[in-house]
């Protein structure tokens, strides 16, 4: 829970009160922020921010079960909402905008957040900002820092790994994507194979701190390609084979974790060089900010390795890295002009073909086929 003691009454018309609701996966998170919708050179104030992570509840299933996650969201949203409003000492009628994740995510979990937003919107005549939570992960950098556009974004979350050219709050172009697993999945599935529990990202990060990252050589895929696309499923298979062949018996868990983690981070380091070149070709800029966000951006090895690579790298603060309501409220604040007045139609887009890896594969196949015929 976070509460800004210095909060003052909202007396500036450009200052808006934004409620953020995030329920795309397994975190129920709600925040109330206040910020200037025209001047982004001022950092928004977080008045209250509360989250409930379902990690402990989902641990026995070894991952996210969408229906169970949705049921937990339904239980947790009302008390979290009440608590946030109480801490900020605000009434629902005072909220200027309800910002809610609508894409991408799990259908049931997304539905719980959107239904809450629509209900509040209808009762209190409050507009809604539908939020792409991938963009929200990167734009969360603006909760702590003033960063100019365009910037190169590296999004590393549980379900996504991509490089993006970000030119505005909702203006982005994908420069590179994973063609199979995301880095977060590589951590979580790798941890499952090693019997480390769920989610495994932080557990592997912690164990790796006393391990040798060069002890075991795990593969890094797609390095020969001059594209910023990534692949992590081969790494996971290599770990499975390593365990099936019993090679893990003679190695320390700390060394296995450090080496496995090294392979994931190595992919980002190599592909960042390619993504920077693509970004430069497209923007003609040689000096630009690089923003890293998403749950995997909490990883200490990723942070130290990438920081050494480029002085323009900025990391979203760890408390805003995993799915959270503050990042959703923040993107709503920045896209206030395109708010929707309910009951206009406002749908979910759980799959979001624009950012899905299935679509990435289709694009790559089409490109290959086109190359053959031309």
Smallest distance, ligand ADP to C-beta of residue 203, A: 8
Query: Considering the complex, what minimum distance in angstroms separates the CB of residue 114 from Mg ion?
Result: 17
Nearest to 294 by CA among 123, 125, 133: 133
Binds 199: which of Mg ion, ligand ADP, none (CB < 5-8 Å by kind): ligand ADP
Nearest approach in angstroms of CB 216 to ligand ADP is: 18
Closest C-alpha to 292, from 170, 153, 177, 143: 153
Half-sphere exposure of 72 (CA within 13 A, CB side): 21
Q: What are phi and psi of 194, to 5 degrees?
A: -85, 0
Which residues contact residue 133 at a Cβ distance below 8 angstroms, ignoring those fewer than 6 apart? 22, 24, 101, 103, 104, 105, 323, 327, 328
CB of 293 to ligand ADP, least distance (A): 8
Residue 187: name its binding partner from ligand ADP, Mg ion, none (Cβ under 5 to 8 Å by kind). ligand ADP
Q: Got the DSSP string for 4-73?
A: -TT-----STTEEEEEEEE-SSSEEEEEEEEEESS-TTSPPEEEEEEEEE-HHHHHTTTS--HHHHHHHH
- Confirm or reject binding of residue 69 to Mg ion (CB under 5 A): no
Q: Given the complex with ligand ADP, which of 242 and 315 has the nearer CB atom?
A: 315
> Which of Mg ion, ligand ADP, none does residue 299 bind (CB under 5 to 8 Å by kind)?
ligand ADP
Burial of 139 from C-beta contacts in 10 A (0-12 / 13-18 / 19+): buried
Instruction: Write out the two tokens for 69.
Output: 């996650």
Q: Which is nearer to ligand ADP, 73 or 90 (CB)?
A: 73
Kindly state the smallest distance separating residue 158's Cβ from ligand ADP, in Å: 3
**In whole angstroms, how close is the CB of 323 to Mg ion at the nearest point?**
4
What is the rounded distance in angstroms from the CA atom of residue 35 to the CA atom of residue 169?
15
Question: Which residues are CB-contacts of 301 (< 8 A; sequence separation ≥ 6)?
Answer: 205, 208, 213, 258, 261, 262, 265
CB closer to ligand ADP out of 88 and 200: 200
Cβ atoms within 10 Å of 341's Cβ, excluding its own: 11
Non-local (6+) Cβ contacts of 93 within 8 A are 124
Other beta carbons within 10 angstroms of residue 125's beta carbon come to 10
Cα separation, 102 vs 116, in Å, equals 12
- Residue 152 forms beta bridges with which residues? 165, 290
Q: What does the binding site for ligand ADP look like in residue numbers (CB under 6 A)?
A: 25, 27, 157-159, 184, 187-188, 199-202, 205, 294-296, 298-299, 322-323
Binding partner of residue 44 among Mg ion, ligand ADP, none, CB under 5 to 8 Å per kind? Answer: none
188 binds Mg ion, rule: CB under 5 A:
no
Q: Which is nearer to ligand ADP, 128 or 200 (CB)?
A: 200
Is residue 50 within the footprint of Mg ion (CB under 5 A)? no
Residue 84 binds Mg ion (CB under 5 A): no
Q: Distance between CA 23 and CA 101 in Å, rounded? A: 7
Cβ at position 181, least distance to ligand ADP in Å: 10
Determine the residue with CB nearest ligand ADP: 295
Smallest distance, Mg ion to C-beta of residue 64, A: 8
Q: How far apart are CA 97 and CA 182, in angstroms?
A: 32
User: Shortest approach of Mg ion to residue 318 CB, angstroms?
Assistant: 14
Site for Mg ion in 6-25 (CB under 5 A): 25
Nearer to Mg ion by Cβ, of 160 and 334: the residue is 160
Considering the complex, state which of residue 88 and residue 111 has its C-beta at the smaller distance from ligand ADP.
Answer: 111
- Segment interacting with Mg ion (CB under 5 A) among 141-149, 181-189, 224-232, 316-324: 316-324
Which of 187, 323, 329, 334 is close enough to bind Mg ion by CB under 5 A? Answer: 323
Q: Which residues bind Mg ion (CB under 5 A)?
A: 25, 27, 323
């Amino acid at each position: 829970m976070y509460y800004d003691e210095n909060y003052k009454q909202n007396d500036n018309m450009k200052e808006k009160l934004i409620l953020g609701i995030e329920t795309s996966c397994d975190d129920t998170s709600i925040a109330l922020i206040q910020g200037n919708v025209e001047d982004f050179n001022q950092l928004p104030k977080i008045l209250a921010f509360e989250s409930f992570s379902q990690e402990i509840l989902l641990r026995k299933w070894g991952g996210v079960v969408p229906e169970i996650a949705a049921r937990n969201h339904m239980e947790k949203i009302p008390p979290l909402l009440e608590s946030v409003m109480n801490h900020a000492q605000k009434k629902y009628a005072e909220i200027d905008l309800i910002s809610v994740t609508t894409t991408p995510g799990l259908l049931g979990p997304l539905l719980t957040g959107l239904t809450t937003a629509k209900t509040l919107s209808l009762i209190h005549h409050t507009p809604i900002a539908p939020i792409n939570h991938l963009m929200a992960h990167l734009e969360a950098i603006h909760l702590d820092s003033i960063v100019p556009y365009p910037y190169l974004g590296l999004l590393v979350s549980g379900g996504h790994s991509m490089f993006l050219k970000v030119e505005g709050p909702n203006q982005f172009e994908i420069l590179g994507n994973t063609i199979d697993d995301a880095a977060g999945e590589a951590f979580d599935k790798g941890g499952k194979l090693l019997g480390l529990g769920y989610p495994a990202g932080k557990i592997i990060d912690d164990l790796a701190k006393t391990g040798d990252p060069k002890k075991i050589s795990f593969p890094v895929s797609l390095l020969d390609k001059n594209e910023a696309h990534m692949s992590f499923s081969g790494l996971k298979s290599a770990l499975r084979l390593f365990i099936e062949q019993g090679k893990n018996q003679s190695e320390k868990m700390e060394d296995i974790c450090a080496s496995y983690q090294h392979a994931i981070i190595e992919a980002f380091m190599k592909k960042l060089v390619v993504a920077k070149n693509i970004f430069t070709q497209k923007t003609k800029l040689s000096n630009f900010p690089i923003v890293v966000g998403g749950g995997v951006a909490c990883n200490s090895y990723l942070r130290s390795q990438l920081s050494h690579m480029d002085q323009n790298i900025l990391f979203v603060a760890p408390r805003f890295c995993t799915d959270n309501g503050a990042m959703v409220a923040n993107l709503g604040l920045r896209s206030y002009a395109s708010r929707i007045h309910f009951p206009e139609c406002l749908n979910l887009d759980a799959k979001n073909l624009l950012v899905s890896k299935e679509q990435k594969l289709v694009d790559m196949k089409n490109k290959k086929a086109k190359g053959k015929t031309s």
